[in-house]
A = this chain, B = another copy of it.
Amino acid sequence: MGEHVESRPTDETALPVVHLRRPRWGDPATPGQLPAAAAALVGGDNPVDTGTDPDDVTLDDPAIPAAARSALVDALGEANVTADHRQRIDHTRGYSTPDILALRSGDASDAPDLVVTPGSHDDVLRILQICATHRVAVVPFTGGTSVVGGLTPDRVGFVGVVSVDLCRLDDLVEIDEISRTATLQAGVRGVRAEELLRARGYTLGHFPQSYAGAGIGGYAATRSAGQSSAGYGRFDEIVEGLTLATPRGTIVVGTAPRSAAGPDLRQLVLGSEGAFGIITEVTVRIRPTPEYRLFEGWRFDDFDSGAAALRTLAQDGPMPTVLRLSDEVETAINLADPDAAGTDADATAAGGVLVVVGYEGRHEEAEMRRVAARRVLENAGGTCLGTGPGEAWRAGRFRGPYLRDPLLDVGVLVETLETVTYWSRLGDLKASVTAALTDALTAAGTPPLVMCHISHVYPAGASLYFTVVCPQADDPIAQWKAAKGAANDAIRAAGAGITHHHAVGRDHRDAYHAEIGELALEALRAVKQTLDPDGVCNPGIML
C-alpha cells in the first residue's frame, strides 16, 4: 500500500499560481461548475444571474491627496502606483460571501484609492511613513482571500486607502537545509512557495482551502491553518521568524527556535492582521518532499463516535498527516468530495459519517503510522472504506470554493464559519451553533442545510467548521449577517473561540473584544499605539 510520489507527477498541490479576479474564485479559465446532482438538490432550474460585470462597476475618483500620491510615486516609481479600475476592483474586500455579494450587486464602495507594489522591505517602510504622514490607511495584500473583512479598513478619519500588494516580494530568500528552514518574502503565494521548495526537494506542507490564491504574509498575519495541520502543524506553529515593517521602523523576531527570553514576540506578530504593520519576510520550517502519500476513508456510525476516534489519535497518537470528520449531513451531501457534491457519498458510509485520514512522509515511517492508526480507528468502531473516498477528497481538496459562485448564480446562499473549543465541550458547541444557524435562517423564511466537519485536532480540543446552504432572501447580505450574528452569540455563550483559522478582521471584531476582555484589548492597543502612532495600519481590523 501507499504511493511513491515520484511516480505521480500530477500532484494536486502543484497548481499554477492564480491571480484572483474578483468577484469569482480561481482561474477564470476553469470556472466553477455545479455538479448535476448538486444543481438538482439546490435549485438547478432557477434563473442564472452572475451579477454586475466588475468592469461596469462605478468607482469613486481616488481620494488620495496629490502630495501623498506623488510621494508614493517618488518612492516606488510610477509603475508601482496605480489607480487602474481593474486593479482597484481586484483589491476590494475579500472572499466572504457578503464580500462577493456586495461586488456582484455593483457595490465597490470599499475599493482602495490606490494599489501600490513595493519591491523591498525598505519600500514598505517608505510607504508606511508616507501614509502615516498623510493619514492614509494602509491595507496589506498578498492573496486577498480574507473571509472576515480583513481587507476592509475603516475610512473614517483617513484621507484615503492604499492597498499594499506584496506581489513583487516573491522570492525565496534563503534555505537552510541543516536547520530545515526557509526564508520567504511575504508576497510569495502558497502555490509558488511549494514550487520553489519542491525544486530543492522540500515542502512547506501548508494547504489551506485558499491555497490557489493566498500567500505567505497572509498566512502569518491571520494564523492560517492548512488541511494537513495534523502532520505539518498550523502556520503559526511552523513559523520560526518574522520581519515586520511598521511606521516606526523594523522589528525582527525569531532569534532562536525556542527561547525563555520574555514573551514570544513571534506570537504577537502572528495574527496581527496588518494592525501593527506589514510582515515582509517569514522564516518557516520545511520538510523533505514526502515519498509516501496515502489517503483513506473510514466510516463511523455517528459524529460522536467519529470524534472520539479523532480525539484518541490526537491525544495518544499516532497522528496522521490529514485527519477530518464530516458529520452526518455533510457525509450525506458528500461535501468531502466537492466534484461529486450532491451525490450520495460512498455507499458504505451512508447513514454514518465519513472520516478522511491521510498519511505523508518517509515510506517506512508513514506506513508504520498508518498501521498503528488503523488499529486505533478499528478499536474505536471505524470501518475502513479503502482509498476511494480518501483519494476523492484529496483530488477535490481545493475545489470547494469553486462551488460557491455557481450556487450564488442560481439564488442559493452558501457560506462557512468555524470555531474551536476543548474536547469536553465540542458536542454541545456543535449542537448550539447548528441550532442558532437553523433557527435564525428558518425564522427568516429560508430554512438552511447546516453541515459540519472537524478538520483540525489538538490534544486538548478541535475545530468545528460549518457550511450553511439555503435559498437567498431579498437582501442576502442582511440575511447572512443575522445568521452569523446568531452563530457568534452561540459560540460566545459556549465559551468557545470566535475563530479557529479565519482570523478576526472586521467581522469578528466585537466578538473578539468580548472574548479577550477590555484589559487585554487595552494592552494590544498600547502595542499598536507604539508601533503605529498615527493608526494608519489596517484601521478597524482586529482592534
Contacts and interface: CB of A to CB of B under 8 A. Distances in A.
Contacts of A29: none
Contacts of A180: 315, 423, 459-460
A5 to B, nearest CB: 17
A508 B255 CA distance: 15
Interface in A270-305: 270-273, 285
Contacts of A531: 519, 523
Interface stretch (A33-41, A80-88, A134-142, A242-250): A242-250
Interface in A82-111: none
A421 B256 contact: yes
B271 A524 contact: no
Q: Which of A178, A257, A495 has the most CB of B within 10 A?
A: A257
Given A223-B259, A257-B460, A365-B317, A252 B497 contact: no
Contacts of A542: 262
A47 interface: no
Interface string A333-354: 0000000000000000000000
A131 interface: no
Contact of A262 (B255, B263, B271): B271
A368 interface: yes
A455 interface: no
A74 interface: no
B524 A262 contact: yes
A410 interface: no
A251 B517 CA distance: 7
A368 B512 CA distance: 43
Given A368-B372, A459-B180, A517-B251, A260 B495 contact: no
Contacts of A252: 517
Interface string A434-466: 000000000000000000000010111101000
Given A255-B515, A262-B516, A519-B251, A461 B420 contact: no
A190 to B, nearest CB: 16
A272 to B, nearest CB: 6
A253 interface: yes
A248 B421 CA distance: 28
B530 A523 contact: yes
A261 interface: yes
Contacts of A424: 176, 178-179
Given A181-B422, A424-B176, A512-B262, A257 B459 contact: yes
Contacts of A262: 271-273, 504, 512, 516, 524, 542
A173 interface: no
Interface in A361-376: 362, 365, 368, 372
A248 B519 contact: yes
A179 B285 contact: no
Contact of A420 (B257, B318, B362): B257
A513 to B, nearest CB: 10
A512 B261 CA distance: 7
Interface string A221-240: 01111000000001010001
A526 B533 CA distance: 12
A316 interface: yes
Q: Which of A225, A240, A251 has the most CB of B within 10 A?
A: A251
A267 interface: yes
A500 B456 contact: no
Interface in A468-507: 495-504
Contacts of A522: 530
Contact of A264 (B178, B181, B267): B267
A223 B265 CA distance: 13
A477 B273 CA distance: 47
A14 interface: no
22 contacts: A178-B311, A179-B424, A251-B517, A255-B515, A255-B516, A256-B497, A256-B500, A257-B420, A257-B459, A260-B501, A261-B497, A262-B271, A262-B524, A263-B269, A264-B264, A267-B268, A316-B365, A368-B368, A523-B526, A523-B530, A526-B526, A526-B527
Q: Which 5 A-B pairs have the closest CB atoms?
A: A256-B497, A267-B267, A526-B526, A178-B424, A223-B260
